Structure 1
Amino acid sequence: MSANKSSARSWWVFIGCCVLSLVGFGLIVNTPGLYFTTLGEVLNVSRTQIALATSIMAFAALPAMLVAGKVMKLVDARILISVCVIGVAALFFIQSFFNAVWQFYVSFALMGILYVIPITLAPSVLLANWFEAKLGTVMGIALGLSGIGGTIFNPVVSWFITNLGWQNSYRITAVILLVCILPFSLFVFKFRPDESKGEYAYGHVETKTEESGKGDVELPGMAAKQAFRTPTFFLFAAVSVLLQIVAAVVQHISSHEIAQGLTLEQGALVVSGIMLGAAVGKASIGILLDYLKPELAIVIYSLIGLSGWGLMAVATTPTPAIAAGFMAGIGQGVVLVALPWFIRQSFGQRDYSEILSIVGMLGGIASAIAVTAHGAVFDATGSYVPSLFGNVALYVVAAICMVIGFRMRPFKAIAKSGK
């Protein structure tokens, strides 16, 4: 007899993932740049030298993503995430005592390795394991809060630095991370439900096979080695690469707007529009994936995103430029929420964390290269307009790859055959 089973713990996992995105992403990823001016003066180094620390963190995260997905399956998630969070918090605290730029390089490299599991992978992986129904909704809301976290913590940390000093700001950041995240990582974040103890993912429907063999049921889906050889994987990897190239131009938007005749403050508002749009896009596309045909949701959000980049290329006044930024931000929901959702639906739960980590790593490499490439385009042409129109074309190709990859998804065949 089939019966709908859900675990109250699923919603605690959801709340914890919201905290990971809001507080963890908001502090670890969005605020390091706030210290650049002060640290440059204190350490007597250039802005480029101190900013290099964040690039080191991004590159250090890439090899970590190669193994992070597999490690999440082997080590108790509560221990693993807690150790990583404690490690990142400890690094923030220790940074308050640094007096040389090389020390920041070392600490940011370690931070890049440590933040991958709790911040980059854990929200998507845990939610995919704990929700069979409404996965798009909870994933969109949780991941969407990362942008809200940046909006909240940027002014807060700026106030800390200005009024309490950069050392105390680092120490307070460490405490906030521990106080907000550890209760969830220690007591809530099990990797997946233990059905032998009566735990089920939200929306789970128990089958006769499970009823006859409780506690010994293999997770449905493809093995990672099989998935890596499918056309769907290659198409989704291409989507990740293409749309991370698109997203990489965000770091150049203030400069683009100044070149278009806007002020620095107006350019900053365009960037804020992108961040706000990303938060709205991630939350709303997640909800729509649960209620619309997935391919239709991709087409809609891709059209919004490419329209935003196209408008930004020609806008020369603040209002349309800010509106363009908001639209471009909404389009980011495709790669940040829809792609993990599509991967989960296309390959199942079995090795989801491994597959997602590899796709994310490929996108991260593309992003790191593209930031410099967009700068090279400006140096060669004197404008960012070619990059922005290029983003329009990349969105079209990415949307096509995503729709075709989803329609060819191998897990659909597995599910029909009962494997």
Structure 2
Amino acid sequence: MNKLISDNRFKIWIVIAGFLLSGVNIGISANSNVAFYAPVSKALGVSVSAFSATASITSFVSIPFILLIPVLLKKFSNRQIVLFSGMSFVLIKLLFGLSNSLWQMYVCSVGLGLCLPGIGYVVINSLINDWFHASNGKAMGMAASGAGIVGAIVLPIINLMIQQYNWRWGYFTQAIIATVMVLAAVLLIQEKPNDTQAVSPHIQEETKQTASALRSPSFYFLMLGLLLILVIGSGVQPYLMIYLTGANYSSAFAASAVSAILLINTFAKIIMGAAFDKAGATNSVWIIGGSIVLSLVLMLTSRYSIIFTCLFVVAFAFAYANMSIPAPFLTQSLYGRQNFSGNYSIIMAVTSMGGAIGNYLTGFLSEQFGSYDTVWYLYIAGILMSTVCLFVSCGLSKKGY
């Protein structure tokens, strides 16, 4: 009984640690970073697009280093990796605040790309995979919700610091908040329990190694399906305000709609994770594909009525949860838990490329076709293709391929 209570307490700590780390990795590093675009560009005398390249540099640099995380996890403890990567993140944020030119910020962006994987979703979901057998989807959703909640809290603080002082103090504030959150996460992290505590013999027998997963056609269908989701999700979200204002809504209404999406998405991740747990891998694919297609259809109808727009806000908040929950859930469900970090890091490295190119792809296609509506129709077709790939992956995996 005491052992069960202790394990449950550790599981709660792991979820909170994941919440804090996703808050630093996404909430602070990405969601609150939009506050710097205008003031930094103006202060340095560069265009907004030139400054925004810092985010692209960070994304592309981080992709190959995601693959190193499983190797590091075998040599170092989770605490050591999180502490080193987290404190490196803090140092780089301080260097951002001390930068005096764009090239210096580009160098800092490279450093940011090197350290973010160490406090990213591979580490977070590997911890959850180690500790959770049942309800792992719900746990993953709760941990991922930190990105939205922390971003919503920190962004106004950063804006206030920039207005009251300057943009440099915005970066210094990010560093201070990140320091507290990383150290708290390090204290909460518990290393992998004994196999008898976390993994039943039945699950161990079903586990596939990374080498066998890479030889499985199902693994490549899974990567393709998730890659399409990341391309489309990252291609839609940045253009929501532009699309809604183009549909004759005010900028204030469009901003409120986007804020509502982020807020609802926080709870949607938890709900979707719990739904995946109950539905299982194959049935979850219906939820994944159906939620995204529904949101895109409602977005196309949003120009006709504010009712459709409100429905779209709710639908897209749930659809956007598919950017973070299906990848770890399906990886564990189809390929086991024992070598989860190895399999998941490969999935993350590939799908992260989708996140890096989606933003540019939407802009390029909208310029070519002269309409966002055409792009959304293409994306609906892309999601249907993604859904087919995921179904094929589930089917092949059941047959051992």
Q: Same fold (TM over 0.5)?
A: yes
1:381 pairs with one of 369, 372, 376:
369
AA matched with 1:278: N
Provide the residue aligned with 1:337 in structure 2.
325
Provide the residue aligned with 1:142 in structure 2.
143
CA distance in 1 between partners of 2:334 and 2:17 (Å): 26
CA distance in 1 between partners of 2:105 and 2:201 (Å): 51
Cα deviation, residue 24, structure 1? 3.9
Does the 8 A contact of 1:17 with 1:123 survive in 2? Answer: yes
Mapping for residues 176-325 of structure 1, pairs under 5 Å: 176-185=177-186, 187-194=187-194, 200-201=197-198, 204-205=199-200, 221-247=207-233, 248-316=235-303, 317-325=305-313
Q: Residue 143 of structure 2: SS of its match in structure 1?
A: helix
Provide the residue aligned with 1:367 in structure 2.
355
Cα 1:23/1:68, change in 2 over 3 Å: closer
Q: Residue 349 of structure 1: SS of its match in structure 2?
A: coil
CA distance in 1 between partners of 2:184 and 2:168 (Å): 26
CA RMSD of aligned residues (A): 2.5
CA distance in 1 between partners of 2:92 and 2:71 (Å): 25
Provide the residue aligned with 2:107 in structure 1.
106
Percent of aligned pairs with the same amino acid: 19
Cα 1:344/1:5, change in 2 over 3 Å: farther
Does the 8 A contact of 1:266 with 1:318 survive in 2? Answer: no
1:64 paired to 2:61 = no
Does the 8 A contact of 1:6 with 1:200 survive in 2? Answer: no
Q: 1:36-95: CA deviations, max 9, x gaps?
A: 111112111111221111111111111212322332233221111110000000111122
List runs of 5+ in structure 2 lacking aligned partners.
none
AA matched with 2:216: T
Cα 1:177/1:304, change in 2 over 3 Å: same
CA distance in 1 between partners of 2:201 and 2:173 (Å): 46
Cα deviation, residue 368, structure 1? 2.0
Cα deviation, residue 359, structure 1? 1.2
- Which stretch of the first structure deviates more once superposed, 64-73 or 339-348? 64-73
Provide the residue aligned with 1:82 in structure 2.
83
Q: Residue 86 of structure 2: SS of its match in structure 1?
A: helix
Cα deviation, residue 101, structure 1? 1.0
1:390 paired to 2:373 = no
In proportion to residue count, which structure has more helix?
2
Does the 8 A contact of 1:53 with 1:105 survive in 2? Answer: yes
Cα deviation, residue 333, structure 1? 2.7
CA distance in 2 between partners of 1:149 and 1:397 (Å): 34
Does the 8 A contact of 2:231 with 2:354 survive in 1? Answer: yes
Cα 1:293/1:66, change in 2 over 3 Å: closer
Provide the residue aligned with 1:28 in structure 2.
29
Cα deviation, residue 25, structure 1? 2.2
Does the 8 A contact of 1:259 with 1:383 survive in 2? Answer: no
CA distance in 1 between partners of 2:171 and 2:321 (Å): 31
Q: Residue 350 of structure 2: SS of its match in structure 1?
A: helix
Provide the residue aligned with 1:327 in structure 2.
315
Does the 8 A contact of 2:27 with 2:147 survive in 1? Answer: yes
Q: Residue 45 of structure 1: SS of its match in structure 2?
A: coil
AA matched with 2:227: V
Does the 8 A contact of 1:301 with 1:330 survive in 2? Answer: no
Does the 8 A contact of 1:73 with 1:191 survive in 2? Answer: no
Cα deviation, residue 334, structure 1? 3.1
Does the 8 A contact of 1:125 with 1:353 survive in 2? Answer: yes
CA distance in 1 between partners of 2:130 and 2:87 (Å): 24
Q: 1:168-191: CA deviations, max 9, x gaps?
A: 222222121111221332x44345
Q: 1:323-368: CA deviations, max 9, x gaps?
A: 3133122023334112211101211123211211211121121232
Does the 8 A contact of 1:137 with 1:286 survive in 2? Answer: yes
Q: Residue 99 of structure 1: SS of its match in structure 2?
A: coil
Cα 1:378/1:206, change in 2 over 3 Å: closer
Q: Residue 368 of structure 1: SS of its match in structure 2?
A: helix
AA matched with 1:399: T
TM-score w.r.t. length of structure 2: 0.91
CA distance in 2 between partners of 1:300 and 1:240 (Å): 14
List runs of 5+ in structure 1 lacking aligned partners.
211-217, 415-419
State the number of aligned residues.
Answer: 396
Provide the residue aligned with 1:12 in structure 2.
13
Cα deviation, residue 314, structure 1? 2.9
Q: Residue 31 of structure 1: SS of its match in structure 2?
A: helix
Does the 8 A contact of 1:309 with 1:325 survive in 2? Answer: no
